Amino acid sequence: MSEVLVLCYHSVSESWPAPTSVRPGDIEGQLRDFLRRGYRGATFAEALTTPTAERTLVVTFDDAHRSVGELAAPLLERLGIPATVFVPTDYPDSGRPMGWDGYDIWLGTEHEQELGCMGWEELGALAERGWEIGSHTRSHPRLSRLGEAEIAAELAESRKVCEKHLQMPCLSLAYPYGDYDDRVVLAARDAGYRFAATIPRQPMPAFPLQWPRVGVYHGEEAGRIRRRAWTRQLAPHASARVALALRRLKP
Ligand SMILES: [Zn+2]
């Protein structure tokens, strides 16, 4: 079984000091470090269906910040790594900043333009370059706080909008804030998603609709991310393998 490591980034900026914003030089150093260690890049859906390498690295970007198209895409192209972008589908071409809970403190500041979302044309251009565009719901709510009808609408409609604009299947989802419960997972399955990503705070086993990612934050060194990957993600994979092996041993 090959090893699949999924990193979760948000925005890329030289000057935005938000915890979720990573400098271009930092992300480049981090990715080069993984490439040196034998990882090969794939999109989230590719990695979970047909991992081609023994060590697969999946780079994901939540929220579809404009800076991802402007700064991260050329950089990743140079490194030969595709990525997966999770887009909150109410935002592209809306002209509205992504000023939800957590980002709202940047509204009205010199960094407000960092809250801009890519448009469908930019997202389509990334898809043409081999990137995967997944859903990040419509409006970026905390899904576990919603009623079942609202959860279903956020998941099904965002998938439909994504497919309509990009003319390709939308297979993957990232839960906003990594927030979900059993109802959300079932709704994701019913809405037709095959894969869903989260950001656990504790080690957890990996399932296609609850896939743990390793969050990367402002000013981190590659070594720190590797250590977190080991405790949060690779170790759970090992335990999932053990669980699988034990199940096979059962008469
Ligand atoms: Zn998000």
Question: pLDDT tens digits, residue range 53-77?
Answer: 889 999 999 999 999 999 999 999 9
For 142, the domain range is 3-249
For the chain, the domain total comes to 1
The predicted pLDDT at position 232 comes to 64
By C-alpha distance, which of 13, 19, 24 is closest to 105? 19
Rounded to the nearest angstrom, the distance between the alpha carbon of 60 and the centre of ligand 1 is: 11
Rounded to the nearest angstrom, the distance between the alpha carbon of 203 and the centre of ligand 1 is: 21
Rounded to the nearest angstrom, the distance between the alpha carbon of 91 and the centre of ligand 1 is: 12
The predicted pLDDT at position 234 comes to 52
CA distances from 28 to 73, 74, 185 (A): 11, 11, 33
Rounded to the nearest angstrom, the distance between the alpha carbon of 231 and the centre of ligand 1 is: 23
Distance CA 184, CA 186 (A): 5
Strands 214-215 and 211-212: unpaired
Rounded to the nearest angstrom, the distance between the alpha carbon of 195 and the centre of ligand 1 is: 16
CATH number for the domain harbouring residue 172:
3.20.20.370
Rounded to the nearest angstrom, the distance between the alpha carbon of 136 and the centre of ligand 1 is: 7
Rounded to the nearest angstrom, the distance between the alpha carbon of 237 and the centre of ligand 1 is: 24
Segment 68-72 long-range contacts (CB within 8 Å, at least 24 positions apart): 68/9, 68/11, 68/12, 68/118, 69/118, 69/122, 69/123, 69/125, 69/126, 71/12, 71/13, 71/24, 72/9, 72/12, 72/24, 72/27
Mean pLDDT of 5-15: 96
Question: pLDDT tens digits, residue range 71-120?
Answer: 999 999 999 999 999 999 999 999 999 999 999 999 999 999 999 999 99
Bridge partners, residue 229, by sequence: none
Rounded to the nearest angstrom, the distance between the alpha carbon of 62 and the centre of ligand 1 is: 5
Determine contact, residues 234/212, Cβ cutoff 8 Å: no
Q: How confident is the model at residue 28 (pLDDT cuts 50, 70, 90)?
A: very high
Neighbours of 239 (CB within 10 A): 13
Rounded to the nearest angstrom, the distance between the alpha carbon of 64 and the centre of ligand 1 is: 9
Q: What value does the CA radius of gyration of the chain take, rounded to a whole number of Å?
A: 17
Rounded to the nearest angstrom, the distance between the alpha carbon of 2 and the centre of ligand 1 is: 28
